[in-house]
A and B are shown apart, each in its own frame.
Chain A
Amino acid sequence: MMTRGRSAPIIYLDNSATMRPLPEVVATVTETLQNDYANPSSLHEFGLSAERILTSTRNELAKFLGTESHKIFFTSGATEANNTILRGVAAAYSSRGRHIITTPIEHPSVLATCQYLETGGFEIDYLPVDDKGTIHPDDLSAKLRNDTILISIMAVNNEVGTIQPITEVALRLDALGSRRPFFHTDAVQAIGKIPVDLSRITIDGLSLSGHKFGAPKGVGIMFLNSPAALPPLLYGGGQEDGMRSGTENTSGIAGIGAAVNWLQQNQRAANEKMYQLRQYLGETLESEIPNCHVNGPPADAPIETVAPHILNVSFPTIPGEILVHSLAESSIYVSTGTACSSKAETTSRVLSAMGLAPELARSSIRVSFSYETSAHDIDALIDALNSTVPHLRRMTRYQQ
């Protein structure tokens, strides 16, 4: 049971949108804001003390990800990291080619950047995904061309929780030798939830966001395997080795350090618990509520094939957003996959790309867990759905 501010208890199941910051993170951020407020670039002792926070967090993060500190850059979030990498690769490699391969189920900060690059003469190819939301490396091999300069594939999909075959893609690309395109992965939903080890495979660029794993909003991470190869997006004071100018978000970065620390100690147990809850929720809903479908990886998907914290489920005839509003009346907060409310986008783009029927794509909700989620929370959600779904269906069926 959680509370929103000081008010009534709520059940927060929208953790893929953002997580409540970890208590350790809040303490560290507050401490840093109060005591280490100097500019890390300042020459004096006080500034050095702030700089040390950046250095130690960078080191810890590098160790956690299996890489080296000089390849880690702090940004304002994953949107900035994705933009910097995609636009940077396009600028730096355009003499080699103008072909980019991505997937239709990426986050908007990848898709919209690709569309922007398209207006500048780049050609974008989208890999198909199967009905579970997975791409297939053979499709990638088939689309690869001599002028392919960039491949961007997310590690875990944010709407359905599918794990993409990143390792296999990386190995296939290795076989290309000098023609190897830049390989980027948006790992926002993967960090802390599935193993991310950069020492075992070659990934050229990776994006992370602090607030998806317990750190504050407004701070993100960009990993670059060969930092010198790309131009920055922002020019200025030359912070972050010139890759990201702007005074560093010291307290947010300290928060990242605290979150990584927490993950190292608690990640395994938390993920196992979330996986159990995911399976329990999916199986219970499918057995108790008629005409209810788990989308993407099934309820009983083996733990190594699915992100433990996301379950996407459809209740045909009820538009997802109505179910979101209805559950909110019981202070249960879930989402409709993409945080978008315009009429044109009431159908999930990701589910449509997976080839699901429009009625399933229109009636889905995403339930996403955190380490705080309890069986009691899931039971409350099941109870609420059991009572509200038949009722809402009476109201919505007739318009079909």
Chain B
Amino acid sequence: MTKDTVILVRYGEIGLKGKNRPVFEARLVDNMKRVLPPHVAITKSRGRLFVESPSNESIESMMDALSRVFGIVSISPAIRVPLQRHAIAEETLNIAQHFQNNNNRDAFSFKIRARRANKQFPLTSPEINDWLGDEVRQSLKGASVDLEDPDLLLQVEIRQDSAYLTGETIPGPGGLPVGVSGTGLLLLSGGIDSPVAGWQMMKRGLQVEAIHFHTPPFTGPRARQKTEDLANLLAQWGNGLILHLAHFTAISQAIIEYCPRRLHLTIMRRMMVRLAERIALVRDIGTLITGESLGQVASQTLPNLTATSHASRTLPILRPLVGFDKEEIVDRARLIGTYPISILPYQDCCTLFVPDDPKTLPSLEEVNRAERDLPIEQLIDDSLPHLESIAYVLQKGEVKVHDVGD
């Protein structure tokens, strides 16, 4: 039997969830399949998942894809060898040798961490640690054992069929598998914050749909394309995504016509929330998500957040960035990959209608009064028939785009 490489996937938090655990594991496996090429086998064993491809898929590209699957704590490429002592010892030395060469240093510390799932194997885990530790020390000059903070952590899993050895671990994104927490509707602008907000909630297991408000002709086709590009990118993290494009021009016009100028922005955001809530309820979506961060701009003061919160009658508004600094949001956007798209210059929703001096501390009563003449329900009813929806379906590692019929 020749040795081959598999990917060992560790998941943490979901292991703790008691009765829900099988559900969570099934979801994780399903989500992993969506980012991997076809014909990949995923097997589960004692709190770990093993990914194997019969064809010669590149391990690196599969690891890269898995690094975007929430719920995964860490990923290792593992060498599979037969359950024979000489084969295990040989591969252990290979990995240690490899590490020594790659890091171009003679002296390095290491630790063997064995896990014996297969109790038929003649040595216990501590015995394996001692045995392989001795092998490495005797064969490689400069190798020393450090159990506290080793340069190389060499992990050995003894399973029914084979042994799995790995000397490399890359972190996964953590969190919960997308879908285990329900569905949320993200208010997606073209900016930096809202894609990050969506990502944060995907990380907590929400399947995210997004709604973008476009205001033609005040916003152009490139602003729309930018939103579609953001949705496509988020779909790769979020197990796919549906983007709803809502027509907001008539609503903006009505606000300008019927409401006092300094509250336009506040009321515009409330109308967005109302429209989003209506769509969410029809689609059985349990929450709204926004990229608001307390105090970041005039429309995100506490009174303004209160005003938008009250616009939603039944659904909560999750604001995962509420305590983030702008720099933290930008760093996260870079990590996710949305940043270069977000900073494209195309004007997004109605920055044109923002008055120079928006009211920062409107009372709820004041806002309600300002909306007195606004035909709220009528405006929403009129906008809904113009709704367009685009599905970004994640399958076999690729995002496929298609329009959603109604």
Chain A interface residues (CB < 8 Å from chain B): 319, 321-326, 328-329, 341-343, 392, 394-396, 398-399
Contacts and interface: CB of A to CB of B under 8 A. Distances in A.
B224 to A, nearest CB: 10
Q: Which 3 A-B pairs have the closest CB atoms?
A: A325-B217, A326-B217, A342-B345
Interface in B213-229: 216-222
A272 to B, nearest CB: 34
A322 B217 contact: yes
Contact of A398 (B221, B256, B347): B256
Interface residues of B, number: 19
Nearest to A343: B345
A343 B352 contact: no
Interface string B310-348: 000000000000000000000000000000000001110
Contacts of A394: 253, 256-257
A399 B217 contact: no
Contacts of B308: none
B142 interface: no
Given A395-B252, A395-B256, A399-B353, A321 B220 contact: yes
A53 B34 CA distance: 54
A343 B351 CA distance: 11
10 contacts: A322-B218, A325-B216, A325-B219, A326-B217, A341-B222, A343-B347, A392-B217, A395-B256, A395-B353, A398-B256
B217 A398 contact: no
A277 B266 CA distance: 47
Contact of A399 (B220, B222, B355): B355
B348 to A, nearest CB: 11
Interface in B192-250: 216-222
Contacts of A325: 216-221
Interface string B349-361: 0001101100000
A326 to B, nearest CB: 4
Nearest to B220: A325
Interface in B278-319: none
A44 to B, nearest CB: 44
Summarize A's interface: helix, strand, loop or mixed. Answer: helix
Interface string B139-179: 00000000000000000000000000000000000000000
B85 interface: no
Contact of B218 (A328, A341, A395): A395
A399 B356 CA distance: 8
A319 B345 contact: no
A398 B220 CA distance: 21
A319 B218 CA distance: 9
Residue of A342, A395, A398, A399 with highest tally of chain B CB at under 10 A: A395
Residue of A321, A328, A394 with highest tally of chain B CB at under 10 A: A321
B396 interface: no
Nearest to B264: A398
Contacts of A319: 352
Interface in B48-75: none
A322 B218 CA distance: 5
A396 B252 CA distance: 11
A399 B352 contact: yes
B261 interface: yes
A303 to B, nearest CB: 34
Contacts of A343: 345, 347
Contacts of B221: 325, 328
Nearest to A321: B220
Interface string B252-279: 1100110001000000000000000000
Contact of B346 (A329, A341, A392): A341
Nearest to B249: A395
A323 B217 CA distance: 7
Contacts of B356: 399
Contacts of B347: 321, 341, 343
Contacts of A328: 217, 220-221
Contacts of B252: 395
Contacts of B256: 394-395, 398
A332 to B, nearest CB: 12
A341 B253 contact: no
Nearest to A391: B253
Contacts of A324: 217, 220
Contacts of B345: 341-343
Nearest to B257: A394
Contact of A396 (B216, B219, B352): B352
A393 to B, nearest CB: 12
A395 B220 contact: no
